[in-house]
Amino acid sequence: MELRFSLAPDPDHETSEQGRKLFAGPVDFVKGVVAMSGLPPADRLEVCFAGRSNVGKSSLINALTGRKALARASNTPGRTQEINFFALGESHYLVDLPGYGYANAPLAVVQKWQALLKQSLSGRQTLRRAFVLVDARHGIKSVDEEIMSLLDASAVTFQCVLTKTDKINATERARVLDQVRAKLAPHPAAFPELILTSSEKSEGLATLRATIATLE
């Protein structure tokens, strides 16, 4: 039976509190990594955030953590080719992957980043889930499918998170959900629930926090 990719349900009070407490605690930038040798010890559960440039990834990470400038957005190709690790207390790493999809990024930079990403994704036993961010105004693009195929090949479960859902109306939302579900269907690593978010309106943040806090 084909996965339907339903919308993730709102968390109950207990899991909502679990998520709130995780992100209300200390959140510290650990390091930016440009080579496998620089990865921190795999001593805690990790989740990573991936998304094409300008998808609203930095805004979402800042909204989740309640910090205005924890993750910095850069619109300069090649400027943010680091994998940034943030510690959520002592229990989790939140990993911010560089934005992808810059048409004018130097080929050598793109190839180096792709190689590092492949190595880090397939080599981290503590990585529990990748959250692939997709702009709700545009749906899944070919560059998103590339990262999803990489996650399939690395056997890393990924969950699709739609951003900027406040920018579309109900008709557009129904259309983009149909497109996203169709594009996700061939991917074996895709988690069968979607999370809809708006950083500006704080929508979906409790669901995403609870999802991360309850991973094992």
Residue linked to tokens 């739609």: 162
User: Residue 19: is its pLDDT beyond 50?
Assistant: yes
CATH class of 6-213: alpha beta
Vertex 163 angle, CA 141 and 85, to 5°: 95
Q: Is the pLDDT of residue 18 over 50?
A: yes
Q: What is residue 202's DSSP assignment?
A: T
State the Cα–Cα distance between residues 178 and 176, nearest whole angstrom. Answer: 5
pLDDT of residue 124 exceeding 90, the answer is no
Asked if residue 214 has pLDDT above 50, the reply is yes
**Dihedral angle at the C-alpha atoms of 168, 197, 3, 138, nearest 10 degrees?**
40
Does the pTM surpass 0.85? The reply is yes
Q: Which of 7, 75, 12, 2 is nearest to 210 (CA)?
A: 12
Residue-averaged pLDDT of the chain: 89
pLDDT score, position 116: 80
Tell me the pLDDT tens digit for each residue of 58-100.
899 999 999 887 877 555 544 456 889 999 999 999 999 887 7
Predicted pLDDT at 1: 46
- Looking at the predicted structure, is the pLDDT value of residue 130 above 60? yes
Distant-in-sequence, close-in-space partners of 56: CB < 8 Å, separation ≥ 6: 133, 135, 163, 164, 199
Average pLDDT score over residue span 29-41: 89
DSSP state of 165: G
Q: Does the pLDDT at position 3 exceed 80?
A: no
Residue 40: phi and psi, rounded to 5, are: -70, 160
Q: Give the pLDDT confidence score for residue 113 in this predicted structure.
A: 75
Average pLDDT score over residue span 52-57: 88
pLDDT in tens, 134-157: 999 999 999 899 889 989 999 999
What does the pLDDT read at residue 78?
A: 45
From 52, 56, 49, 137, select the one nearest 94 (Cα to Cα): 49
The mean pLDDT of 114-130, rounded to a whole number, is 86
